[in-house]
Amino acid sequence: MLGRDGNEAGLAGGAGGHTPLLVLGKITEILNAFTLREPALTLRDIQQATGLPSSTVQRLVTNLVAHGFLDRAGDRFRIGVKMAYWAAAAAREVDVLAVVNPVLKDLRDLTGETACFFRAEGEHRVCIAVAETRHGLRREMSVGRIAPVSVGAPGRVLLAWNPELAERVLGHELPQLTAGTITDRDELRKLIKQTAADRYAITVGERVDSASGVAAPVFDSAADLVGAVVVQGPTLRMPYDKCVEWVDLVVEHAERITRALGGRIPD
């Protein structure tokens, strides 16, 4: 880290004339290069993501591995498991809603549509936070609203990272809420598997006719699922192509919550 005299040491690796704050800024850039969609990166990937010189990336990454901030597997690196240990103490004191609500408001303001956070309760999904759209035409959503976990984008996410719940839900007949609701259990099983591979879900007209949603997962320090962030609205404003366009935005905001909770990406 930093020596007692304020000069660079440890992580900085004695990087000459750079100030400690500049080195910490570069370390932050490197750590921020890792995302839910790209959890494992090569040195070249990190260099391209940060724009830092290759020699700087190599030196700092080597030190980050040595101190447990990063783990290495072959030629790839990922956020170190030790980071979860350090984050756990802070995460115990974090109010999840205090983290979630400002992120949902940011997401609402960027998309113009309602942003929500859902978690699983039994075989249902429950809205525990919402930033509602300012559009007059909206699909009403409120804290405490429930729906079967088998329908809609947030439900798909909640099932993708909870195999026991998924098997329980798939073990009986699926409710049909609209003509677009998936009621074939084999088809839903495939879609759940695809969601886990993609790390997001898009649905159109599954819970409510002419409504769309795009959702992404949030994880805790044990890499367990906390809940699902979703942007939802009328298909008139959110056709499938618009949902695809917003995937990165939703994933990035879900990851903001994961990071703020001291969470980590599951293997």
Do the domains at 10-79 and 92-260 have one common CATH topology? Answer: no
What is the mean predicted confidence (pLDDT) over 29-37?
Answer: 83
Question: 94 CB contacts (<8 Å, ≥6 apart)?
Answer: 260, 261, 262
Count other Cβ atoms within 10 Å, centred on residue 70.
23
Going from N- to C-terminal start, the domains of the chain cover 10-79, 92-260
Q: Which fold has domain 92-260?
A: Beta-Lactamase (3.30.450)
Give the residue among 204, 155, 209 at the shortest CA–CA distance from 179: 209
Query: How do residues 145-165 score in pLDDT, each as one tens digit?
Result: 899 999 999 999 999 999 999
The top-level CATH class assigned to 10-79 is mainly alpha
Q: Give pTM, 2 decimals.
A: 0.69
Tokens of 212: 């769309």
Query: How do residues 91-144 score in pLDDT, each as one tens digit?
Result: 554 578 888 999 999 999 999 999 999 999 989 999 999 999 988 776 677 788
Query: How do residues 217-249 score in pLDDT, each as one tens digit?
Result: 999 888 899 999 999 999 999 999 999 999 999
Which one of 1-15, 71-85, 215-229 scores highest in mean pLDDT? Answer: 215-229
- Mean pLDDT of the residues in the chain: 86
Give the residue among 238, 262, 265, 264 at the shortest CA–CA distance from 87: 262
Model confidence at 5, pLDDT cuts 50, 70, 90, reads very low
